[in-house]
Structure 1
Amino acid sequence: ELEGQLVGVEPVKRQIRMLCETAIATERRELLGIERRPVGNHMLFIGNPGTGKSTVAEIVARLLHSIGAVPTAKLSIHENARSALCGTTLGSTAHQTKEVLLSAMCTGLKWENGGTLMLDEAYSLLPMKGGEDYSTEAITQLVALADKLRGKLAIILAGYWEQPNNRDIKHLLRENSGLDSRFPLHNRIDFPDYKPPELLKIAKNMMDWHENKLDEKDDGAARRALSEKLSVPLPGNARDVRSILEAAMRKRDLRIAAIDGPTRDDLTILKAEDFAE
């Protein structure tokens, strides 16, 4: 599953394999009569947008369930931690934070079952300057529930590790000592930016999913045009690859609009000119 869904990101694969090895060791201890105790499986996913954090979260949720670390394989993702956890009035944030965590554990009509929760842009929980701010209340409640729900809910905090404006996970962990202990660095997974060859492979996968392909009758011009687009730094990684392909598809569709009865190749092939500015 790791090789099938993830391009590159070898550090990520190593960390997940370590989880698997820990699971095997736990099962062996149980066979010897050593009691399984609830373990904190809360994690830090560190990296730029588009580096596969959500995809890996899906794999981790299934893995944690398969090894008995959480009761179900359910995964809940919130794209912005502040908007998910913080209320708008005094006293509402603790309740809202609790509801988000309990909802992540709910399967069907059964409450307090279990699962995995990913809070992206976790650094957004850092207090803002000026005005009413209830993020400290959210952090306090998150710390308390992360400990209370250990063994039932695995929480993933995702985002940048370090930013010039100090709004990052490194400073978030310093905001409350309880966060630092509940989300330890040995449960940190770093997602490196993709390299151009990996971005090209991702682009090919995306084209395959939508039955698109590069023109193979132009002496490699289309491939070179796409490779050139992917050779510059792409801060959005796979997200930027998707945007590049979608722009090329729109140009392709405009190019073939005047064709009377376009063929399958007309509708699916991307030419070098489709990648031009």
Structure 2
Amino acid sequence: MGKASRQINVVLRTPEPQPLTEPEPQTGGKAVPAQGPFADVMKELEQMVGLDNVKELVYEIYALLQIGQYRADAGLASTQQVYHMVFKGNPGTGKTTVARIVAKLFQTMGLLQKGHLIEVERADLVGEYIGHTALKTRELIKKAMGGILFIDEAYSLARGGEKDFGKEAIDTLVKAMEDYKNQFVLILAGYSEEMDFFLATNPGLPSRFPIMIEFPDYAVDQLVQIAECMVKERDYTLLPDSVMKLRQMVSAEKNRYPSTFSNARFVRNLMERSVRQQAVRLLGQYTSSSPGRHELMAIRPEDMRADKRVGI
């Protein structure tokens, strides 16, 4: 028994051979490459505050495409899916940014040849006379080939009723989705209720968009975090009192205008206005000398001035 025990100890202490390549890191139970194009895409996505459901979907798409490549290499049938999407949510919730990231993902995974994003709205699609709308829409679809056509406030295409030229744009888009379903991706975006109404106007529309994503409003803490990231990128800092005032201003705006609150867009405008006010304040304070590094970076509470409709 003693000899057997000592022999086992010797075996356990023998160093195991090291793998030639390091295993892929695990993120929340998900295998993510440590390097490469997809790792860059995920890093860009992970830097966005919140959006857990969006990040989950992007990983699902990556996993499907990656396994599809493995299946093709093994001589198995690779499932073709349609990736047209609907993004529903208020302004400033990250819809356009996520669309750009999805375009990069599809390009890196070989689903789209170019991976560019063509961002349009109603005025870019709808013409002034019969036949003009179809021509304009087809031109934009042509430009989007190999990439993503992103239509913001897409519900506006259905606002004019049956005789409106917006219906012509919808019909042209529907036909292109069938004719070129593997050559470009169409993403429609807009307010949740309006997009639901828009999809209900044409019984064939919902089934053509297998992926529908809700972009929820950001919580106050998340918006404060977004603001801090914004100023940090520009070498500014928010003092503790400034963070407190920011929280008050965001809460006031969010509570007063819940249906039109612009989320991260509101925060970005507020921070840009604060930077301008800081510059004005510093020029007035330092007339005969230049401010120090700390002063040049610090955003003080008095620099933070909200829109006139917010009483803070």
Residue equivalent to 1:237: 263
CA contact (8 A) 1:30 1:36 kept: yes
Pairwise mapping of residues 109-148 of structure 1 onto structure 2 (< 5 A)? 114-128=146-160, 133-148=164-179
CA contact (8 A) 2:152 2:189 kept: yes
SS, match of residue 192 in structure 2 = coil
Asked if 1:273 corresponds to 2:297, the answer is no
Residue equivalent to 1:77: 119
State the TM-score, normalizing by the size of structure 1: 0.85
Counterpart Cα distance in 1 of 2:135 and 2:102: 27
CA-atom RMSD in angstroms: 1.9
CA contact (8 A) 1:39 1:69 kept: no
Asked if 1:20 corresponds to 2:62, the answer is yes
State the TM-score, normalizing by the size of structure 2: 0.76
With 117-126 and 255-264 compared, the bigger mean Cα shift is at 255-264
Counterpart Cα distance in 2 of 1:214 and 1:2: 24
Asked if 1:42 corresponds to 2:96, the answer is no
SS, match of residue 177 in structure 1 = coil
CA contact (8 A) 1:123 1:172 kept: yes
Counterpart Cα distance in 2 of 1:51 and 1:61: 18
Counterpart Cα distance in 2 of 1:125 and 1:30: 40
Asked if 1:208 corresponds to 2:232, the answer is yes
**Higher relative CO (CA 8 A, sep ≥ 6), structure 1 or 2?**
1
Q: CA offsets, 1:229-250, max 9 Å, x none?
A: 2233171000000111122222
Work out the number of aligned pairs and report it. 255
Q: Among 246, 258, 272, which residue is 2:272 paired with?
A: 246
**Between Structure 1 and Structure 2, whose CA radius of gyration is higher?**
2
CA contact (8 A) 2:45 2:101 kept: no
Counterpart Cα distance in 2 of 1:154 and 1:145: 10
Shift of 1:142: 0.5
SS, match of residue 50 in structure 1 = coil
CA contact (8 A) 1:139 1:176 kept: no
**Residue 60 and residue 40 in structure 1: after superposition, are their counterparts in 2 closer, same or farther (change >3 A)?**
same
Which amino acid is the alignment partner of residue 154 of structure 1? V
Pairwise mapping of residues 46-57 of structure 1 onto structure 2 (< 5 A)? 46-57=88-99
Unmatched 5+ stretches in structure 2: 1-42, 306-311
SS, match of residue 275 in structure 2 = helix
Counterpart Cα distance in 2 of 1:37 and 1:152: 16
Shift of 1:175: 2.1
